[in-house]
Amino acid sequence: MRFPIQYNEPLFRPPSEAKSLIIQITYGCSWNKCSFCEMYTSKKFKARKQEDVFSDIETFLPYASQIRRVFLADGDPLVLSTQRLLNILHKLKQTFPNLQRVSTYASPSNLSRKSNQELNELYNAGLTLLYVGIESGDDEVLEYIQKGETFKSTVEGLLKAKDEKIDSSVMIINGVGGRHFTKQHAINSARVLNETQPKYASTLVLTTHKGFEHFKNRLSPKINIKFQQLNQLELFTEMKWLIENVALSETIFRSDHASNILILKGILNKDKSKFLQQIDTAINHPTMANLRPKIYRGY
């Protein structure tokens, strides 16, 4: 059976949206400059016409009662005007009577540009979860990887969403600052988590889909530091610093992305000492650690 709508590929979604209906309301990412990210470099950013988005939504009318979760794609749909987003959210609510959750990717700047009232309206219209790739909380790393954000903009954006009851799932990239920035990357990323207390947090390991040379060529020329990739031991050590420095009350933490060799799952800070033990075992007794066997080949 053919899928009822045609996507403009490549199409991405977070792992936890595997069972959600994906509706593309934009194509690509309005920023599209992060040095590690090739998700949308093949696309030019474009907002889709409302009638085309509505037509995609209506295509699922025969399955309307089964649809409980919708994920809005592509890279940062929150860049659209609030009225445009509200029209789409209202259409989703009208079409799918059992809809429980609408989520999307967002950048901290997308959030900072909206007023509290706008975010509140979006929440009331059904947008309840944002996936925010913060990547790092360190200003030098953020500049280095051309993220277009700072510690301050990240904290402000996340807190603004939280003030209006919108949950955030934040992602940090293990190893993204290379050897030079590893410690400050870990400590300042923990600081962002502590100041914002997100509902969900996760880490994944820096993966360069077009190779390290390509990634290095996309780093900011303003920071004159040669990128040195972390080895496995250094990646674990960076994770140790991150976990040591978090002070969270009830954040669901996952590092179970395919790029993670050591899988950590639990609640922070409740599971902090358990995580630190797991990391210590991975560092000091790797053969006894619960590492993904296909990937771990010794240090």
Binding segment for ligand SF4 (CB under 6 A), chosen from 24-32, 154-162, 223-231, 253-261, is 24-32
**CA–CA distances in Å: residue 172 to residues 21, 52, 237, 281:** 25, 34, 15, 22
Q: Which stretch binds ligand SF4 (CB under 6 A): 27-35, 48-56, 80-88, 210-218?
A: 27-35
CB 25 within 8 A of CB 71: no
Here's the x/- map for ligand SF4, 242-281, by CB under 6 A: it reads as ----------------------------------------
When asked if residue 34 is in the footprint of ligand SF4 (CB under 6 A), the reply is yes
The residue (of 218 and 240) whose beta carbon lies closer to ligand SF4 is 218
Pick one of 21, 23, 25, 29: the residue that binds ligand SF4 (CB under 6 A).
Answer: 29
Q: Which is nearer to ligand SF4, 77 or 126 (CB)?
A: 77
Cβ proximity to ligand SF4, 28 vs 237, nearer residue: 28
Q: Quick one: which of 23, 27, 31, 110 contacts ligand SF4 (CB under 6 A)?
A: 31
Nearer to ligand SF4, 48 or 240 (CB): 48
State yes or no: residue 142 binds ligand SF4 (CB under 6 A): no
User: In degrees rounded to 5, what are phi and psi of residue 251?
Assistant: -100, 130
- Contact predicate 107/144, CB 8 Å: no
Question: If phi over 0 gives left and psi between -120 and 50 gives alpha, with beta otherwise, what is residue 15?
Answer: alpha
Interior angle at CA 74, CA 72 and CA 78, nearest 5: 65
Residues that contact ligand SF4, how many (by CB under 6 A): 12
Q: Which residues pair with 170 in a beta bridge?
A: 132, 201
E strand intervals along the chain: 21-24, 26-27, 46-47, 69-73, 101-105, 127-135, 167-174, 200-205, 251-255, 264-268
Look at residue 196 and give its three-state secondary structure.
Answer: helix
Residues that bind ligand SF4 (CB under 6 A): 29, 31-34, 37, 39-40, 75-76, 107, 133
